[in-house]
Amino acid sequence: MGLLDSLLNPASVAIIGASPNPHVIRGQLLLLLRKNGFAGRIVPVNPSHAEIDGIPCFPTIAAGGGGDVALVAIPAAAVLPALEECAAAGVKHAVIISSGFAEDDAAPPDLQDRVAGLARRTGMRVLGPNAEGFHNEVARVSATFSPAVDRDADDNPTAVHARIGIVAQLYNRGRALGLSFSTVVSTGNEADLTAADLLAHMVGDPDTACILVFLEAIRDVAAFAAAARQAAAAGKPIVAIKVGRSAAGQIAAASHTASMAGWDAGYDAFFRHHGIVVASELDEALTIAAALVSNPRAKGGRVAVLTISGGAGAWSADMLDAEGLTLPELGAATQAEIRSFIPSYGTARNPIDLTAGGAQGGGTLRAIELLTRDPAIDQIICVTTLANPARVTLDGPALRALLAERRKPVLFYSYTLPSPLGRQTLAEAGAVICPSMATLACAARALQHPAPPPALPPPLALPEAMRTRLSGPAGTLPEHEAKALLAACGVAMAPARMVTQRAGLAAAAAALDFPLAVKIQSAAIAHKTEVGGVRLGIADMPALKAAYDTVLANGARHRPGAAIDGVLLERMAAPGVEMIIGAIRDPTFGPIVSVGAGGVMTELFRDVAYALAPLDEAAAITLIGTLRSAKLLQGWRGAPAADMAALARLVSLVSRIAAAGQATISELELNPVIVHPAGPGSSDGGCTVVDALLAVSPAQIKGA
Amino acid sequence: MGLLDSLLNPASVAIIGASPNPHVIRGQLLLLLRKNGFAGRIVPVNPSHAEIDGIPCFPTIAAGGGGDVALVAIPAAAVLPALEECAAAGVKHAVIISSGFAEDDAAPPDLQDRVAGLARRTGMRVLGPNAEGFHNEVARVSATFSPAVDRDADDNPTAVHARIGIVAQLYNRGRALGLSFSTVVSTGNEADLTAADLLAHMVGDPDTACILVFLEAIRDVAAFAAAARQAAAAGKPIVAIKVGRSAAGQIAAASHTASMAGWDAGYDAFFRHHGIVVASELDEALTIAAALVSNPRAKGGRVAVLTISGGAGAWSADMLDAEGLTLPELGAATQAEIRSFIPSYGTARNPIDLTAGGAQGGGTLRAIELLTRDPAIDQIICVTTLANPARVTLDGPALRALLAERRKPVLFYSYTLPSPLGRQTLAEAGAVICPSMATLACAARALQHPAPPPALPPPLALPEAMRTRLSGPAGTLPEHEAKALLAACGVAMAPARMVTQRAGLAAAAAALDFPLAVKIQSAAIAHKTEVGGVRLGIADMPALKAAYDTVLANGARHRPGAAIDGVLLERMAAPGVEMIIGAIRDPTFGPIVSVGAGGVMTELFRDVAYALAPLDEAAAITLIGTLRSAKLLQGWRGAPAADMAALARLVSLVSRIAAAGQATISELELNPVIVHPAGPGSSDGGCTVVDALLAVSPAQIKGA
């Protein structure tokens, strides 16, 4: 029996401050617990009452004999003493519904910490505070005041019997879709039990087929990751709604990588790594969960749309196209067979317009049957109208038999609001009617098999020079120093010379050959271009001398008194595709590597992809493939293809450096990286790291 | 009385082939017409029956005495003779529900045209064929077989009494939101009456406050535009769902502009011009229409979110942010006042978390009242839970009185499914509960005042040289010829020389000065770079001679036998922001001008905006401002601002050339255009047109 079974499936439930008044939360708790059929012992605790609605009421929790779970909805100031009494009486779990803790600026700052401390000290586990409680649909335990879980008021036909667990408050929206639930839990402030604990419980719960989480933050990354890995191994999909994106704002940082990362980087990388599906809207999350629990996974994104209206077909095609799904034209044999049972004014291309007449007499079912056998189609989308009872032409049991073969996903949408008969017919077949075409399209995308979690490359042994510098003082390293350290780690760098005296220019130029780039070097100048500290395309010695003088003069003018290390001379890079590679240390998820389009595209179009570091070359190739600018690397408009393999090797190496040095590397950025053409008729390929930035800063240990 | 009043509000309705069988469409028509309370005369026509359900039935339409409207749902082959009889009997309008016309590949190709011809010849106007008919909610005329309009089955509380007209089939989804409707019409194949006709009718209909159209195509642009202008003048918003975007595919074309345009260009430009709001989803369109008819317009996009849950607040902020709305922090005075009536664990920042306790006792109403008086806020978004009858803390009549002042838009969303009491309370207040946060965010964006339609610049008189060439042979002009013609139209061009003999290089170079660009010129070579026909950054005479030889050799190798006009020499352009300006001749909307980010960004990120041509400089500035790359022009990351005014002048000039030459200019593209820095400390600004393309091809007159 899991840790949380005695919380979520208790033999007895105490209600601290239980009340006969149904208009206060303490009264609603008792009411809903009884109404929804809790079969265990109920222990109302309130010295003002001898009994409530026929149940004996006790002056103290001890007098009531304790209980597996105590529900606490009394004022915040009274919570701690009540918890002490509960723990002393042997209560196993407390659900704190009361507000007035960490979310409250006026609350005593340590109040929630003291709740957490009490949980650790006594072993009594705590859900909340500031939680809505939970509802266990299987065991009929409603430990919540939310009437969304009122079973009496639920007249929705059940379409799907595979149960979904929810760490959120989406019960009645899900019931409206005909879904089944196992446990619905609100974790509140997570003083003790976190979303990760509930996730782990649900992964282990045989009644739960899929888990839906609404997250404001992941408080316990290691536990959440472990539960996500178990879920993947158990084949239980996780769908997450994460809020707080726009609030992230700009971070003050040296690199573009860090200033752009905001919310998305860490969570995007984490969700991608664990194959967690991200939704932005409640109905979208529920539709995805519904599709996942009622269908097999799809081999890919090639969909066939079955409809009875040309307009609906064209519109569906647009919505599916927007989610990256494709509508291939059907093969000649399939088309011919469909045409045999539809009127001439229908069409057997894709979208397939059966017409109202063609859908009657079992046409829809025949078409679904045919399409499940067509190897060129991965998913079937049925867009129809279920408002008219006379037009509900589907035979529920026959459809159920067909869907039970689970050969391919079949999704349904009604552009009119479905009638009760329409809902009942589809529910009989075990199929969900998606609430909108947009959510259907998201579900079709999510039905594709997730990529397996990437293999971790072996740990990187940082060279001595890097280790020494990383244990040195905090600060942003000048380019020449960052490049030297990265070169020691195995990053190939273009030939370069540091020049500290004007007299050294000629020898450096002779060693490098023109045309050259000239760049001032100073720990005080992070953005060299902005102070006029860079000159490019220098073609000869007179121009080189002039450039040297200019960048030093500009540096002195913009940063008077700054210590200047010298001037870096480099051969101008050969042409290629401009990219950016970066790494940040996310406060929640640790080292995150990124790769994106370079130059102005970096920030303007945010074409950047993030992954947990480290990752191997194969995973880097996959990551690069998610960029819109991947087309540039593949050879855009007749340009030669760039050396994708070299770029992937470099992304992987940067991720391994960031991971190995995560204790003190706070930012790492190669920007731009020029990826040179590779392949027949091209030069040797490879990448040139034009500029590099390394920021050293000891990690803040969370909670320390 | 408008043209369509006798169609949509007839005194008599005939049903050709009327049947007592409710399972065929001809039977359903009679049933719904009666059930929904049609008060006029019904004329069933069917020689097989003497009466149907107590109504006399006639052997012919003539015997029945004709009728204002005849409903036709008989097989396609029988439709024309029936229409002839109707016209002869004085029927004013026919509604053809039958399929088997232009949408049917197997139908006689001219069948639909013959229907249109009959309409023109007899003056009997025709809706359809292949239409679902119409439903007039005000006059109680249901001339359709769609049970979506069954009034008996409608138990939805009405929230909004201002009526929406629909050219589509969205009736029951809209009723579920508590909306009121005037007329719902399906126009089918539009053999005679088009969406534009219905739009014009609804604009003139005093019972219609807002019009919602579902479009597969606009068949009559001039009429649609005229109706849209009347709607704007009458203050009646139009919301459009346009389908068929993804189906557009690639057009074979010489310019990037034309190959990218696809569906979006023309419709985007047309909708933008007329202030028509575009929606992609049914519920989104209905929510926008609902918000528009139940609220005043907003001054801008600064929203305040009122909620009772921190998580809901953060999530709402994300969704609103994604639609470009902002959540400014509230002023100190407003915050202090809100804090006075909410618990300490709430927050008076934005999103405002009133908490469940704070919302009770009228807190939500007080906060709305306060925010309607805060000049820093344009719209109020109330995100709450309406599932729990005990938590519906809003007072319907008090909220109605507040909203009736129409000071600012107030939008509502319930993250739980609203209970009947919740829906009733909001309906009493005249407020709609948006079906999702995503649709609410779209509605909030749409509530902002649309920009007034841009003023048309005066017509451009094309110079003699351009007029002569445009009346010449079709073809894509080589760069030098296109540039010369554009220069004659007033487009400033960089100094250039055509060289046709190697001996002429020195004189041309002396006139232009190095560094130079060298480009092969031939009508047979549209994409010079792809054949190695361009060399850039030529620094001296030896390099120039080598470049000259190379581009000619490459041209001869890739296009053997092509006529080469010569080699164009131009001074290399000064630095600046790379943009693209184009114009196409859209088959539906005529000349469309576009402006977008240049280089690889053009196609990779599709950062291009379209407008109907011609447009003036002010409208061009607005258009450029919609681009993500507008930031580059404004001075990105410390770079100097570019000469936006010069770019806008050039966009306007290109639009006027395209408009003046629309009879034969099929494509026009300036790509790239370098926009130079302007302002203090910068050079003189202006734009350099690096390359230009002009395709001459006579316009296909539609229907000719």
Give the pLDDT of residue B165: 83
Predicted confidence band of residue B255 (pLDDT cuts 50, 70, 90): low
Cβ-in-10-Å burial (0-12, 13-18, 19+) of A583 comes to: buried
CA angle B116, B121, B126 (to 5 degrees): 40
Given a contact cutoff of 8 angstroms between Cβ atoms, the answer to whether B564 and B500 are in contact is no
B699 touches chain A (CB under 8 A): no
Evaluate the CA torsion angle A170, A171, A174, A179 in order and state its sign. Answer: positive
A395 touches chain B (CB under 8 A): no
3-state secondary structure (DSSP) of residue B155: coil
pLDDT in tens, A455-471: 789 889 999 999 999 99
Mutant choice from B604, B636, B671 vs A, greatest count of A C-beta within 10 A: B604
Half-sphere exposure of A116 (CA within 13 A, CB side): 13
- C-beta separation of A496 from A480 below 8 A: yes
Rounded to 5°, angle at Cα B602 from B597 and B603 = 160
Please answer whether residues B627 and B595 qualify as being in contact, where contact means their C-beta atoms are separated by less than 8 angstroms. Answer: yes
**A contacts of B436 (beta carbons < 8 Å):** 281-283, 436
Q: Which of A385-389, B262-266, B495-499 has the highest mean pLDDT?
A: B495-499
Q: How far is CA A584 from the centre of its chain?
A: 18
- Among B110, B86, B85, B107, residue whose Cα is nearest residue B98: B107
Work out the average pLDDT over A135-147.
86
Spatial CB neighbours of B505, under 8 Å, sequence gap ≥ 6: B499, B541, B544, B545, B548, B569
Give the chain A residue nearest B350 (alpha carbons): A247
Query: B148: closest CA among B127, B164, B178, B169?
Result: B169
Measured between beta carbons, the chain A residues lying within 8 angstroms of B357 are: 99
Average pLDDT over all residues of chain A: 88
Residues B667 and B661 sit within 8 Å (Cβ to Cβ): no
Q: State the DSSP string of B273-296.
A: HTTPEEESSHHHHHHHHHHHHHSP
Residues A418-432 have a mean pLDDT of 89
Give the pLDDT score at A623: 94
pLDDT at res. A251: 43
CB proximity A607 to B under 8 Å = yes
- Contact B360/A at CB under 8 A: no
Taking only residues 487 to 506 of chain B, the set having a beta carbon closer than 8 angstroms to any beta carbon of chain A reads: none
Angstroms from B404 CA to nearest CA on chain A? 30
- B263 part of contact set with chain A, CB < 8 Å: no
Q: Is the pLDDT of residue B149 over 90?
A: no
How long is chain B? Answer: 704
Q: Is the pLDDT of residue B497 over 90?
A: yes
User: Mind telling me how many Å the CA of A103 is from chain B's nearest CA?
Assistant: 6
Residues of chain A numbered 426-445 and touching chain B (CB < 8 Å): 436-438
Distance CA A149, CA A138 (A): 13
What span, in angstroms and rounded, lies between the C-alpha atoms of B647 and A44?
Answer: 76
Sign of the torsion formed by the C-alpha atoms of B27, B29, B30 and B35: positive
Please list every residue in chain B whose beta carbon sits closer than 8 Å to the beta carbon of residue A281. 319, 436-438
Examine the pLDDT at B397 and tell me if it is beyond 80.
Answer: yes
Task: Write out chain B residues lying below 8 Å of A99, CB-based.
Answer: 343, 345, 355, 357
Residues 6+ apart with CB under 8 A from B1: none
Give me chain B's average pLDDT, please.
88
**pLDDT of A266-306, one tens digit each?**
888 999 999 999 998 889 999 999 999 999 999 999 999 99
Task: Give tens-digit pLDDT for A217-255.
Answer: 888 899 999 999 999 999 999 999 887 655 433 345 566
- Residue window 631-650, chain B: list those with CB within 8 Å of chain A: 631-632, 636-638
Show the DSSP H helices in A5-126 as ranges: 5-8, 25-35, 79-88, 111-122
Q: pLDDT tens digit string along B57-79? A: 999 999 999 999 999 999 999 99
The beta-strand segments (E) located in A403-560 are 410-414, 433-434, 475-477, 496-499, 516-521, 534-538
- Closest partner residue to B344 (CB to CB) among A105, A419, A437 is A105
Q: Does B303 touch chain A (CB under 8 A)?
A: no
Q: Does the CB of B244 have a partner CB in chain A at under 8 Å?
A: yes
pLDDT confidence of residue A281 = 86
Highest mean pLDDT among A249-258, A384-393, B43-52: B43-52
Strands B69-72 and B12-16, sheet pairing:
parallel
- pLDDT for residue B251 is more than 50: no
- Round to whole Å and give the CA distance between A424 and A407: 23
**pLDDT of A614-667, one tens digit each?**
999 999 999 999 998 898 898 877 678 899 999 999 999 999 999 999 999 999
Q: Supply the pLDDT for residue B682.
A: 60
In the prediction, which pLDDT does A359 show?
Answer: 85
pLDDT of A158 strictly over 60: yes
Subunit contact A604:B631, Cβ cutoff 8 A:
yes
Min distance B153 CA to chain A CA atoms (Å): 10
Q: Could you read off the pLDDT of A463-492 as tens digits, one per residue?
A: 999 999 999 999 999 899 999 999 999 998
Percent of chain B topping pLDDT 70? 93
Q: What integer pLDDT is reported at residue A152 of this predicted model?
A: 67
Q: Is B604 on the interface with A (CB under 8 A)?
A: yes
Residue B25's alpha-carbon distances to A357, B81, B133, B516, in angstroms, are: 11, 20, 11, 74
Rounded to a whole number of angstroms, the distance from the CA of B314 to the nearest CA of chain A is 5
The residues, any chain, with a CB within 8 Å of residue B568's CB and separated by 6 or more, are B479, B480, B496, B497, B498, B499, B518, B519, B520, B521
Query: Would strands A303-307 and A352-353 be described as parallel, antiparallel, or unpaired?
Result: parallel
| pLDDT band, very low/low/confident/very high, at B699 (cuts 50, 70, 90) | confident
At residue B374, the 3 state secondary structure works out as: coil
Comparing A156 with B320, the larger pLDDT belongs to B320
Contact A304, A327 (CB under 8 A): yes
> What single-letter DSSP state applies at residue A620?
H
Could you report the per-residue pLDDT of B576-611, keeping only the tens digit for each?
A: 999 999 999 988 899 999 999 987 777 788 889 999
Q: Is the pLDDT score of B391 beyond 80?
A: no
The token pair that represents A111 in the structure block: 């109040």
Task: Please write the tens of the pLDDT for every residue from A335-383.
Answer: 999 999 998 888 898 999 998 888 877 899 999 999 999 999 999 999 9
Cβ contact A345–B104 (<8 Å) = yes
What pLDDT, on a 0 to 100 scale, did the predictor assign at position B175? 83
- Give one word for B297, left, alpha or beta, with left for phi > 0 and alpha for psi -120 to 50: beta
Q: Do B105 and A247 touch (CB under 8 A)?
A: no
Task: Give the number of other CB atoms < 10 A from CB of residue A481.
Answer: 18
Distance between B216 CA and the closest CA of chain A, angstroms: 7
Touching B: A residues 71-130, CB under 8 Å: 99-101, 103-107, 130
Q: How far is it, in rounded angstroms, from Cα A265 to Cα A258?
A: 9
Q: What is the pLDDT of residue A704?
A: 34
Looking at residue A247, its pLDDT comes to 43
Using N-to-C axis directions, what is the helix angle for B363-372 and B396-404, rounded to 10°? 0
Average pLDDT over residues A559-580: 91
End-to-end alpha-carbon separation of chain B, Å?
Answer: 34
3-class DSSP assignment, residue A605: coil
Cα–Cα distance, B329 to B178 (Å, whole number): 33
ipTM of the complex, rounded to two decimals? 0.79
